[in-house]
């Protein structure tokens, strides 16, 4: 268990469950901790997500995978923990609002303010297990309340506990200032500015990559000053930033050393910036350059400080030139680590795969999205299928495990097309060496801030979105729910265990 020490801290940074990664500690909070440290401020990270996940260790069989970090997460275990978590929220699925056809209302936060307000209020009473668990972890271990409690929120599945935590902090530590941040806050910042119900127990929201703003806020509050508005203006996108996260040793010790993978981000933004389903216009609107020498310095510092050997590069689009330049710098520095990255399929990967594998690239997530030309045009991400197959084969044959990101169920897509895409994926998987091709098989979500939502094509009708939700209800093809089950079964294939079966009875 991560303990909050008695040493006086300036800010406690809480990562609420549930977020589907048992291998990668959350990077955003560690970047905030580093920036605060540079300003002489002490920030303690309380990773409640891993605490929650670990409390269910053993609830599902372990799935061995050759894929690095959260690209190869244990899906059965995570789905099991998520289902338990959602049941524990007490959120009434019967009261879902604007529920997309294949969504779980509790995972996507498809509820009205009132429904959520009642559920979070109930969670802070003794009738529910949350307050005892949170009391012990947050309040039991420090006698000196921090002046700031930050809550990090990447996605909707963290909203419930984030709000519960904010309520409890206001009850136990009324003088502590509560601050929300993270990409889900960035995405919702305009809505938050327009509706005070978002920030009922929260003093400030800091959208954007706000590590410097967070440090400034903590410092200013110490001096008795505070921001002028509840929504602090986001930093101008594109500024340069420190690559090196700061973690406390006890924060990393809770992760399984066999799979612990340190996330790193070297560039913000995306050089492609076109995919119509993506949130890049809001969350990552400007591109920063890669400084490969600085990247390798950060890796070396983490190797020597924490003995880490696995890294997951979290840049939204780590291009082939970026990978090559990182590989060159790693070779120059004599650094031997295993790393993963996410990119688009590009012909040059066929040539460079052996060299990148030699430089430690172990897993490559490829944003293929769809194999159908019409759908590729809708997404504005057109790629030749033969080229993609060559890239998959070259990587897998070189020892780079490939994760194919695929999206099914686009507007006007037929079930036959979706099945052809699934067959295509299975063929890629089956013809590669065992374990070298995996897939992330998703149904299209039309999400806030994406070009598809901002400017829907004529065939898309948006039916509405709940206040904290990420995705809209829309006129999706009718056959998607049945396909969703099959995609899930394919993703969970290795154990033959369904999350439902693994969850068993309620605790």
Q: Is 317 in the site for ligand SF4 (CB under 6 A)?
A: yes
Degrees to nearest 5, angle at CA 120 with 231 and 503 = 120
Q: Indicate the residue among 61 and 104 with the shorter CB distance to ligand B12.
A: 104
Residue window 271-310: x/- pattern of binding to ligand SF4, with contact defined by CB under 6 A: -xxxx--x-x------------------------------
What is the closest distance, in whole angstroms, from the C-beta atom of residue 251 to ligand B12 in the complex? 12
Contact of residue 165 among ligand B12, ligand SF4, none (CB under 5-8 Å per partner type): none
Nearest to 489 by CA among 79, 98, 199: 79
Q: Indicate the residue among 55 and 271 with the shorter CB distance to ligand SF4.
A: 271
Contact of residue 150 among ligand SF4, ligand B12, none (CB under 5-8 Å per partner type): ligand B12
Nearest to 277 by CA among 110, 74, 151, 449: 449
Nearest to 232 by CA among 218, 243, 222: 218
Q: Indicate the residue among 125 and 455 with the shorter CB distance to ligand B12.
A: 455
What is the binding site for ligand B12 (CB under 6 A)? 19-21, 24-29, 31-32, 70, 150-152, 154-155, 157-158, 179, 181-184, 186-187, 206, 209-211, 214, 263, 265, 278-280, 283, 314-316, 470
Q: How far apart are CA 289 and CA 227, in angstroms?
A: 30
Q: Indicate the residue among 210 and 319 with the shorter CB distance to ligand SF4.
A: 319
What is the closest distance, in whole angstroms, from the C-beta atom of residue 13 to ligand B12 in the complex? 6
Dihedral sign of CA atoms 322, 327, 331, 333 in order? positive
What is the closest distance, in whole angstroms, from the C-beta atom of residue 366 to ligand B12 in the complex? 14
Residue window 350-379: x/- pattern of binding to ligand SF4, with contact defined by CB under 6 A: -----------------x------------
217 and 233 Cβ atoms separated by less than 8 Å: no
Contact of residue 344 among ligand SF4, ligand B12, none (CB under 5-8 Å per partner type): ligand SF4
Residue 179: its H or E element:
strand 177-181
Only one residue has tokens 């409890």, namely 168
Phi, psi dihedrals of residue 343, rounded to the nearest 5°: -150, -175
What is the closest distance, in whole angstroms, from the C-beta atom of residue 156 to ligand B12 in the complex? 6
What is the closest distance, in whole angstroms, from the C-beta atom of residue 201 to ligand B12 in the complex? 14
Q: How far apart are CA 362 and CA 72, in angstroms?
A: 11
Neighbours of 57 (CB within 10 A): 12
438 and 493 Cβ atoms separated by less than 8 Å: no
Name which position in 270, 295, 320, 383 contacts ligand SF4 (CB under 6 A). Answer: 270
Strands, E assignment, 282-337: 310-313
Q: Is 344 in the site for ligand SF4 (CB under 6 A)?
A: yes
Contact of residue 401 among ligand SF4, ligand B12, none (CB under 5-8 Å per partner type): none
What is the closest distance, in whole angstroms, from the C-beta atom of residue 271 to ligand SF4 in the complex? 8
Q: Indicate the residue among 146 and 182 with the shorter CB distance to ligand B12.
A: 182
What is the closest distance, in whole angstroms, from the C-beta atom of residue 370 to ligand SF4 in the complex? 12
Q: Is 449 left (phi over 0), alpha (psi -120 to 50) or beta?
A: left
What is the closest distance, in whole angstroms, from the C-beta atom of residue 319 to ligand SF4 in the complex? 10
Q: Indicate the residue among 28 and 499 with the shorter CB distance to ligand SF4.
A: 28
Dihedral sign of CA atoms 453, 462, 208, 103 in order? negative
What is the closest distance, in whole angstroms, from the C-beta atom of residue 275 to ligand SF4 in the complex? 3
Q: Indicate the residue among 393 and 499 with the shorter CB distance to ligand B12.
A: 499
Q: For residue 473, how far is the Cα from the chain centroid?
A: 22
Q: How far apart are CA 418 and CA 408, in angstroms?
A: 6
Residue 115: its H or E element:
helix 113-123
Q: Indicate the residue among 308 and 447 with the shorter CB distance to ligand SF4.
A: 447
Contact of residue 283 among ligand B12, ligand SF4, none (CB under 5-8 Å per partner type): ligand B12
DSSP 450: S
Q: Indicate the residue among 368 and 487 with the shorter CB distance to ligand SF4.
A: 368
Q: Is 320 in the site for ligand SF4 (CB under 6 A)?
A: no
183 and 283 Cβ atoms separated by less than 8 Å: yes
Those residues with Cβ within 8 angstroms of residue 455's Cβ, 6 or more apart along the chain or in another chain: none
Q: Indicate the residue among 98 and 344 with the shorter CB distance to ligand SF4.
A: 344
Neighbours of 7 (CB within 10 A): 9
Q: How far apart are CA 432 and CA 396, in angstroms?
A: 6
Contact of residue 29 among ligand SF4, ligand B12, none (CB under 5-8 Å per partner type): ligand B12
Residues found near ligand SF4 in the complex (CB under 6 A): 270, 272-275, 278, 280, 316-317, 344, 367
């Amino acid at each position: 268990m991560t303990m909050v020490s008695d040493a006086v801290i300036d800010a406690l940074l809480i990562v609420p469950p549930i977020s589907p990664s048992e291998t990668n500690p959350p990077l955003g909070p560690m970047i905030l901790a580093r920036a605060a440290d540079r300003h002489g401020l002490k920030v303690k990270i309380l990773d409640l997500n891993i605490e929650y996940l670990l409390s269910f260790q053993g609830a599902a069989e372990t799935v061995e995978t050759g894929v690095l970090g959260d690209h190869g997460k244990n899906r059965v275990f995570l789905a099991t923990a998520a289902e338990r978590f959602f049941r524990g929220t007490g959120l009434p699925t019967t009261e879902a609002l604007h529920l997309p056809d294949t969504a779980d209302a509790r995972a996507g936060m498809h509820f009205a303010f009132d429904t959520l307000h009642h559920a979070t209020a109930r969670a802070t009473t003794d009738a529910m297990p949350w307050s005892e668990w949170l009391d012990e972890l947050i309040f039991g271990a420090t006698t000196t309340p921090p002046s700031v409690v930050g809550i990090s929120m990447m996605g909707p599945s963290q909203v419930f506990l984030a709000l519960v935590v904010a309520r409890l902090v206001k009850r136990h530590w009324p003088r502590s200032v509560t601050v929300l941040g993270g990409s889900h806050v960035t995405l919702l910042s305009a809505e938050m500015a327009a509706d005070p119900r978002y920030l009922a127990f929260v003093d400030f929201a800091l959208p954007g990559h706000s590590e410097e703003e967070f440090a400034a806020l903590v410092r200013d509050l110490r001096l008795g000053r505070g921001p002028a508005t509840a929504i602090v203006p986001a930093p101008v996108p594109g500024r340069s930033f420190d690559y090196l996260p700061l973690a406390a040793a006890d924060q990393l010790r809770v992760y399984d050393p066999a799979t612990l993978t340190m996330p790193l981000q070297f560039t913000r933004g995306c050089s492609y910036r076109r995919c119509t389903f993506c949130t890049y216009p809001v969350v990552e609107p400007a591109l920063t350059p890669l400084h490969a020498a600085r990247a390798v310095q950060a890796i070396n510092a983490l190797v020597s400080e924490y003995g880490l050997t696995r890294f997951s590069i979290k840049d939204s689009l780590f291009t082939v030139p970026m990978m090559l330049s990182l590989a060159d710098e790693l070779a120059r520095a004599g650094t031997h680590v295993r790393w993963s990255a996410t990119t688009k399929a590009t012909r040059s990967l066929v040539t460079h795969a052996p060299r990148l594998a030699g430089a430690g690239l172990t897993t490559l997530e490829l944003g293929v999205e769809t194999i159908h030309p019409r759908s590729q045009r809708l997404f504005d991400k057109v790629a030749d299928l033969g080229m993609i197959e060559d890239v998959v084969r070259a990587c897998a044959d070189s020892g780079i495990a490939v994760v194919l990101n695929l999206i099914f169920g686009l507007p006007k897509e037929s079930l036959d097309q979706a099945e052809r895409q699934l067959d295509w994926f299975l063929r890629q998987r089956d013809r590669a060496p065992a374990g070298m091709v995996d897939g992330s098989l998703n149904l299209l979500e039309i999400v806030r801030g994406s070009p598809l939502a901002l400017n829907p094509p004529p065939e898309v009708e948006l039916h509405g979105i709940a206040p904290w939700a990420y995705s809209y209800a829309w006129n999706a093809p009718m056959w998607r729910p049945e396909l969703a089950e099959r995609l899930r079964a394919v993703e969970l294939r290795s154990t033959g265990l369904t999350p439902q079966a693994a969850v068993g009875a309620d605790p």
